[in-house]
Amino acid sequence: MLKRLLLISALCLTGGAAFAQGANVAFGSVQQDSSLPIEVSADNLSVNQSDGTALYTGNVVIGQGEMRLAAPRVLVVYAEGAGQIDRLEATGGVTLVSGEEAAEADRADYNLQDNVVVMIGNVLLTQGGNALSSDRMTVYLKDGTAQMDGRVRSIIQPSSNTEEGEGQ
């Protein structure tokens, strides 16, 4: 949490930061295959047969291919009559990791039919040394891209043209 606060503070205070109302960014080192199995681990599980949901609580970690989603609470909603997962609703502080990139938000909704993850509230995306924050980020898993909306703030680390020790 401290790391997140420091990054957000740096985003707000950096004079060289880029500011925009929306931004398209890459997300994930590979395209996500939503046909891969979903593995869920958690401290607790409650199944509600009447409304077709399953509630995982406590240290929930969901894995699918290269993607990992972690949250304190995840509601799994099944498609009516199909027995297949329609969507996942993660709340309580969510971390989504794909390859070398990670995003944090207050909540995330993963629609498995559309292969889209929508992260809402205090979104922070880190890509190597770069960081972006916004109110909302929509991740399109099929093509490995994302759209950030709301007040977008960016810190972009300049790349070094010389390696340490060269030219001395």
Domains of the chain: 2-155 (2.60.450.10)
Alpha-carbon distance 77 to 123, whole Å?
23
Per-residue pLDDT for the chain (168 aa), expressed as one digit of tens each? 333 333 333 333 333 333 345 566 666 654 567 778 889 999 999 999 888 899 999 999 999 888 899 999 999 998 887 778 899 999 999 999 988 889 999 999 999 989 999 999 999 999 888 899 999 999 998 888 889 999 888 888 887 654 554 444
Tell me, yes or no, if the pTM score tops 0.85: no
CA–CA separation, 88 vs 92, rounded Å? 13
d(CA 108, CA 91) in angstroms, rounded, equals 7
